[in-house]
Amino acid sequence: MSAVPARSTGNAAERYRAVFDARSRSENTLTQLRRDALQRFITKGFPTQRDEDWKYTNLRRLESRNFVPAEPTLGRVDESQWIADAGMRIVLLNGRAHTVLSTMSPQPPGVTVLTLGQWLENAPDEVAALLAQQASDASAFESMNLAFCDDGVVIEIGESVRVDRPIYVVHQWTGGAASVMSNPRVFVRAAANSQCTLIEHYVGAADSETLTNSVVTLDIGSGARVKHYRVQQESPRSFHIGSIAAHQARDSRYDCQDIALGASLARTSIVATLQGPGAEANLHGLFLPGGSQHIDTCTLVDHVAPHTRSNEEYRGIADARGRGVYRGKVIVRKDAQKIDSRQSSRNLLLSPTAEIDTRPELEIYANDLKCSHGATTGQLDATSLFYLRSRGLSEAQARALLIRAFAESILSTIELPSLRAHVEQQLNARFAASELSA
């Protein structure tokens, strides 16, 4: 039965109680957890610009919508947008696992990939215990996710297991979807000395106004390596909220490449907690707000243990009336000595009405460390444009070449040829549009 939201009066979050209560679902192990999560979401409400982490992002447009959980219907799926030859594929269609479109078998030895529904069926108490643990300090949107989560993906990599091919998770909206939301969860548990690559791909149909509110948690064991690619190219009418938390043990490494292209309003939060000595986190991102898009990225690297390292590089390219936000924070705890942390934010404005707000921060309680940060925002260099035009290039060609060169430092971190080709194709289409408006 489809849920019918309450009227848009009072607390915007309170409207979702009616959505929750109208859903037809059987009682199970997670029922009380969901109710508690809903209450936390309603109590906290949608973040406002009075919250420091949301200072540059206004959610009034999102609050004014009445989203209901998407129905498990197939609809129209455009598979041409998917990344070719990307390894084992798990498709979440409108937030629910779709086995026909997925290729989850055969699974390599030592690798277990399940849908959240399968995991709940096999080990309900284990799922409930993990979710209860994560719920204790959850944000408003993470609580909303738990309250309405219908499905997701669970990835477990055994000790010393190396997965050579990527695990590709497609978050696909079907054509015609409107005023609906999905709240998927992805769990990654990489045991000691294991290695794997995860690709998350968020794809939306052009005519859909949807809300994706995803939560990804990664438990990275001692000496383990996890490479995480995240490509967001949802509908220009959609809303996207993404929450990522990586917990890293001794000598582990987490690499995240975050490419944000789509959605009307998008916000991605990445938290890397370096809990063991020798842990390393590398966060790279590229965001391209155009039209009237608003794309926000917030990172937090928490150096809890000594002898840990982090490196962040984010680049933003804003065109037309697009607005980008990057807020990166590094915390060095009192006993976390011998830290090496670097942070860089570089941004390019292609029109006088574009805007990018950048705010790198350091919060340091130790005294034996190396920490640096820097931020720049500017326009295409007139001298470089003149030089390229003197070599026979048109102004549009020269602009496109300089824009591509600016993005290259992030593109170069994408090691998978098929994924890089896909991202380059998306960027070329965006740059071509910029050329036409030049």
Compute how many other C-beta atoms are within 10 angstroms of the C-beta atom of residue 123: 15
- Convert the pLDDT of each residue in 167-201 to its tens digit: 999 999 987 777 899 999 999 999 999 999 999 99
Q: What gap in Å lies between CA 428 and CA 402, rounded to an integer?
A: 12
Lowest mean pLDDT among 104-108, 200-204, 308-312, 422-426: 104-108
- Convert the pLDDT of each residue in 359-393 to its tens digit: 999 999 988 889 988 999 999 988 998 889 888 88
Asked if the peptide bond before residue 106 counts as cis, ω within 30 degrees of 0, the response is yes
Q: What gap in Å lies between CA 92 and CA 182, rounded to an integer?
A: 10
Chain-centre distance for alpha carbon 84: 21
Per cent of the chain over pLDDT 70 is 95
pLDDT of the residue at 207: 77
Alpha helix ranges (H) inside 317-394: 382-390
pTM comes to 0.93
Q: Torsion angle of alpha carbons 86, 91, 95, 99, nearest 10°?
A: -160
- Convert the pLDDT of each residue in 229-275 to its tens digit: 999 999 999 999 999 999 999 999 999 999 999 999 999 999 999 99
| pLDDT beyond 90 at 411 | yes
pLDDT of the residue at 349: 96
Higher pLDDT, 428 or 316: 316
Per cent of the chain over pLDDT 90 is 69
Sheet holding 253-260, edge to edge: 96-97, 88-93, 167-172, 195-203, 225-233, 253-260, 280-287, 309-318, 339-349, 369-378
- Convert the pLDDT of each residue in 3-33 to its tens digit: 444 333 347 889 999 999 887 666 777 889 9
